[in-house]
Amino acid sequence: MKLTVVDWAIVAGYFLFNLAIGFYYKGRAGKNTSEFFLSGRNAPWWLAGTSMVATTFAADTPLAVTGMVARNGIAGNWLWWNAVASGMLTVFFYARLWRRSGVMTDVEFAEIRYHGKPAAFLRGFRALYLGIPINCIILGWVNLAMVKILSLILGVNKDWALAIVVGIIALTSFISTLSGLWGVLVTDLFQFVIKMTMVIVLAVAAVHAVGGIDSMKQQLGVIDRAKGLATGTAGSALSFIPDLNSAWMPMITFLVYISMNWWATWYPGAEPGGGGYIAQRMFSAKDEKHSLLATLWFNVAHYAVRPWPWVLAALAAVVLYQHDPGFQKDPETGYIRVMIDYLPAWLRGTMVAAFAAAFMSTVGTQLNWGASYLVNDFYRRFVRTDASDRHYVRASQLATVLLTVISAIITRYMDSIAAAWQLLIVTGAGTGTVLILRWFWWRINAWSEVSAMATAFVVSVALQTEFGLSSSDPRGFAYIMLITVGITSVVWLAVTFLTAPEPEAHLLAFYRRTRPSAALWKPIARLAPEIPATHDLKHNFLDWIAGCALIYGALFGAGKVILKDYGVGVALLAVAVAAGLYIYRDLSRRGWKTVVE
């Protein structure tokens, strides 16, 4: 794709503006680690929530969606749409608790909930494990997608593309170390506006290229029939629900996704009950209300607002490149091909800036979040416990540079790590129940969480290496999930009852600090009569149901309207509006706080 002087000027202007934001917030970030990692706990909900959305909108995201749609139609997105229930769980059950806890990272939570050496081990281990290998593999995966994008856009080989990516990472790292989370939040807002605008523009251009919605639907029908004759299946690319007789999503796999995957599986940044950079944004919010609203806005935007521009471009790519061997071999490139072939020439520079924005927003967050683990939860906790705030800020900046270097090296050898990353996805199966219940059940202790992590890892690895099950095979994935969750749950429950509970004084301090629902904390709640007992589980559960209806109603309703199925679309949107009104009225009646007696 040929870029003009004007295009390059737009790209340069984008980078300069991001740099200016970094210098503007330099003074705030250098004050202390709370400012550097949590923006002084003073971020408004719309800024913290938009930053969550921007972070999950990586450069590889539209490419991944294009690959899902090209292979399995719109229903292919159930691979991530199933997590709506988990997101709503975080909104109504955990957002206020996380903000109330007052911790700097979700890893630090281990030592306010648990006590002694097991708690310290849990905190230190998770800080290093999540902060370096997991975080850098995520960064490497995102970097590799940007390498693919630049190779096609600029027509350069992988090494040159990687060199450019390293330069962008270095700039992002500089801005992140300069401005801390305030700079990340504000640049995320700027970047989200750019990339959301451009994906909508590209979707319009793509649909226009195939002759409009009606023409696209007709051509996809022809392709579906041809594919059905060739494979013996009758799935439709436009169906929102997968064909449960298909090879990629048989009934057992679909049931595992919608009934188990969202609560049982641990995944970096999307832990049941919130974690990672999502938790970091909740900590940075002004108060409990802003924490809840930020997480609610994130889930609405993430699931109901963003997907359709990507999906439309992907459907258009299926039509436009149905006979292209390159697209058939690597359908994820269809998104970039549409951009190169059909985006108006005068918008190319802005689109390149949009891809850079998608890349930088994710990298900036991963660097800041990973550094917070290394400094707050390992270096400050176990290595240098009595230094000044300025020292820890400098250590945070050095940690950010370290993560930048490691992630760049991993990107260079990413092909050999991809299999390991796929293995990691299912190693957290079964730990979700501990992460969910540790807030609400006093009896859970540090050994519960340690045993769950260890068992999930051992069982899932054994099933794949010794028993021949593969997480890349849909049925294999379902069996791995069912077996791992079952065994892990039995083990951690047994360990919980066979080991002593946490010390009473420690549990009492946690209860006073976070005020969880008293239903499963009665032995401890009786020791703190001065704390009004919280009884909000029923209200939160009803809000959770309404939240899921809000997201799915808006997601599918918008899709139906876009595809000109107006009757069903309007009905689904009405469900979404009704659910939203119920949530607003309930939270307003409660004053956006917990229900106490």
Which bin fits 499, alpha (ψ -120 to 50), beta or left (φ > 0)?
beta
Band (554; pLDDT cuts 50, 70, 90)? very high
DSSP-assigned letters across all residues of 391-431:
HHHHHHHHHHHHHHHHHHHHHHTHHHHHHHHHHHHTTTTT-
Q: Is residue 507 part of a domain?
A: no
Q: Is residue 240 part of a domain?
A: no
374, 397, 424 - which closes a domain: 424
Q: b or e along 431-462 (b: 16 or more beta carbons within 10 Å of the residue's beta carbon)?
A: bbbbbbbbbbbbebbbbbbbbbbebbbebbbe
What's the rounded Cα separation, in Å, for the pair 282 and 498? 34
Q: Is residue 562 part of a domain?
A: yes
> What local confidence, expressed as pLDDT, does residue 176 receive?
72
393, 424, 455 - which closes a domain: 424
User: What is the number of domains present in the chain?
Assistant: 2
| pTM recorded for the entire structure | 0.88
Mean pLDDT of the region 520-543: 91
386, 403, 424 - which closes a domain: 424
Q: Is residue 501 part of a domain?
A: no
Q: Is residue 437 part of a domain?
A: no
- 35 pLDDT more than 50: yes
Q: What is the DSSP letter of 310?
A: H
Q: Model confidence over 109-155: pLDDT tens digits?
A: 999 999 999 999 999 988 888 888 878 878 877 888 788 788 888 88
> What local confidence, expressed as pLDDT, does residue 596 receive?
47
Where would I find the H helices in 499-536? 504-514, 522-525
Q: Is residue 109 part of a domain?
A: yes
Q: Is the CB of residue 29 less than 8 Å from the CB of residue 183?
A: yes
More confident residue, 573 or 417: 573
Mean pLDDT of the region 378-390: 88
Domain extent, residue 375, equals 5-213+276-424
CATH number at residue 176: 1.20.1730.10
Q: Is residue 204 part of a domain?
A: yes
Grouping H, G, I as helix, E, B as strand and the rest as coil, residue 285 is strand
Same domain, 21 and 167: yes
More confident residue, 457 or 562: 562
**Other residues' Cβ atoms within 10 Å of the Cβ of residue 324:** 14
Same domain, 411 and 558: no
Mean pLDDT, rounded, of the chain: 86
- 418 pLDDT more than 80: no
Same domain, 181 and 321: yes
Portion of the chain with pLDDT greater than 90, in percent: 39
Band (572; pLDDT cuts 50, 70, 90)? very high
Mean pLDDT of the region 192-212: 93
Same domain, 562 and 416: no
